[in-house]
Structure 1
Amino acid sequence: MNLMYTLSGFVVGLLVGVTGVGGGSLMTPLLVFLFGFKPAVAVGTDLLYAAITKTAGVFVHHGKHKSVDWRIVGWLALGSLPFAGMTLYVLKNLMAVGKETTGMITFTLGVALLLTACALLVRSWMLRHSAKEEIDDEHSNQDNSGRFSPSWERFATVLTGAILGVLVTLSSVGAGALGTVALLFLYPRMTTLKIVGTDLAHAIPLTAVAGLGHLSLGNFDLQLLLSLLAGSLPGIWLGSHLSAKIPEQFLRPALATLLLVIGLKFVLQ
């Protein structure tokens, strides 16, 4: 165990608990800039970390709230898992011929952070808008009706999964904020609780497949993973209890601004 890694995990977990921002968008830049890890190792370790921590959340959503739409999870996975596998295959072949993949991973990480920052700024508005529609449609049977016709709805969901598969595999960022915003757009009548639960359930197989793929490529640090888990789990628990006491309208824009700055640094370096 490394005490500094554990402390960093606690701080990130605390912020995740308070704001709901995905750990990857905070953890991966921290590992690269503060501790000097190679981007590939930071991404690979964070993906396995995310798969473990998100599993507990799905048990709550599925077991207690029954708030996972497994049909939509299946459509997302139909796009994300094959494209995650293809992305890993490309990385493996580039490494086999001696091509440096750090630049591609760093650039993708920067783009993902910029998109996440934008998603954070619109997510609150979309959640409020979704909540109003929930009230308007509380007596309706069209709880999960999509924005498009059934055939286009299925295609758009699979395509969303494919984009997330590539983005998350290369950067470990996007399964949370970007996935939520995409589902809010595709399924405006789905309850907010189901949006969160469905996105969380899809993130588990995606981060697990991508993380195990990076593990097979050697992009992994076991001591780092265990230290992060030791700090982040109590941090998430504490942050969840503090979330009602901290004004989110100030903290979330501040975090979005920070992610914009970090994302630009990754893209331009």
Structure 2
Amino acid sequence: MEWIILVFVGFCSGMIGSLVGLGGGVILIPFLLFLGAYTTLVTPISPQVLVGISLIVMIFTGLSSTLAYVKHKRVDYKSGLIFFIGSGPGAILGSFLNKYLTEDIFSVFFGVFVIVLSFVLMFRNRVKPLLISKDVKFTREYKETDGTTVIYGFKPWIAICLTFVVGFLSGFIGIGGGSLMVPAMILLFGFPISVAVATSMFMVFLSAIVGSSTHLFLGNVDWVYALALIPGAWFGGKTGVFINSKLKSDTVVLLLRWILVIIGLQLIYQGIQ
């Protein structure tokens, strides 16, 4: 029974994560925290092992989603690799500092974090992307399905500093970084939403490899859980990409906001009671 539940959890986290570019950790971790705290279906897991498992699973969610998004020609590889220059070292540092987290602090911190993100997305249409500045030298073009050409870009040093923080949070609380990176790409760099989601999954894949390797070194991975979650996450990732291709951008963002609010409130409640 436990294996069936874990496969289902893996599928849901992979599907929702790839649908909105989160990576899945922001879905997977609350699911496992809830099941461990309130049911006998899943054995309670420490925050350290939980993050290690999440990052292992996100390797497969990220790879599955990236391969699917490649077919739709939405992945911006050059931007993703620049982002990884910052997120890789950040993931290593976050993984080492993760040992200081207790379960209650972990839940509250995670909950507040995702609720703040949901409010950030609320104002995304009112914020002028920073790429308009003339000194932005790294610019890209993307043609939308309706034929509109979108120009976006960023200063590499700003992107690397930002993604260092994203990578740190990935290793620290196992979120994969997409929950912060997707809003940042949309709000700060002017990425089209479809490209932001796809490129985020590419970066999640790379960061998860680095972060999970560090957690493996620290002994923070329970392979019984990881192996049960991976198959669901793989097929969930592909399902999320398929659904994403059928939805409008604003619908994807609305889904992301509501998912974050619900998860955040549940985690805060769980951590303070």
Could you state the TM-score of these two structures normalised by the residue count of structure 1? Answer: 0.74
* AA in 1 matched with 2:231: A
Structure 2 residue runs without a partner (length 5+):
37-43, 130-141
Aligned to 1:87: 94
> SS state of the match for residue 29, structure 2?
helix
Does residue 262 of structure 1 match 2:270?
no
Q: Deviations over 1:200-236 (max 9, x none)?
A: 2221221111111112212111111121122333444
Aligned to 1:209: 210
Does residue 49 of structure 1 match 2:61?
no
Aligned length, in residue pairs = 248
CA change 1:17–1:83 in 2 (3 A) is: closer
For residue 76 of structure 2, the aligned residue among 56, 68, 72 is 68
Aligned to 2:194: 193
Alpha-carbon shift at residue 84 of structure 1 (Å): 2.1
- Tell me, yes or no, if the aligned pair for 1:25 and 1:116 is still in contact at 8 Å: no
What is the rounded CA distance, in whole Å, between the counterparts of 1:196 and 1:250 in structure 2? 14
- Tell me, yes or no, if the aligned pair for 1:87 and 1:170 is still in contact at 8 Å: yes
- Tell me, yes or no, if the aligned pair for 1:69 and 1:194 is still in contact at 8 Å: no
Does residue 39 of structure 1 match 2:43?
no
Aligned to 1:162: 164
CA change 1:202–1:15 in 2 (3 A) is: closer
Structure 1 residue runs without a partner (length 5+):
147-152
CA change 1:206–1:214 in 2 (3 A) is: same
Aligned to 1:101: 101
What is the rounded CA distance, in whole Å, between the counterparts of 2:253 and 2:205 in structure 1? 29
Q: Deviations over 1:75-131 (max 9, x none)?
A: 32222222222233445xxx6xxxx532564454334333343355456x589x9xx
Could you state the TM-score of these two structures normalised by the residue count of structure 2? Answer: 0.73
What is the identity percentage for the equivalent residue pairs of Structure 1 and Structure 2? 20
Higher strand share: 2
What is the rounded CA distance, in whole Å, between the counterparts of 1:227 and 1:126 in structure 2? 42
Alpha-carbon shift at residue 158 of structure 1 (Å): 1.1
For residue 144 of structure 1, the aligned residue among 152, 175, 193 is 152
Alpha-carbon shift at residue 33 of structure 1 (Å): 1.9
What is the rounded CA distance, in whole Å, between the counterparts of 2:225 and 2:116 in structure 1? 27
* AA in 2 matched with 1:47: L
* AA in 1 matched with 2:66: V
Alpha-carbon shift at residue 65 of structure 1 (Å): 0.9
- Tell me, yes or no, if the aligned pair for 2:22 and 2:200 is still in contact at 8 Å: no
What is the rounded CA distance, in whole Å, between the counterparts of 1:74 and 1:9 in structure 2? 27
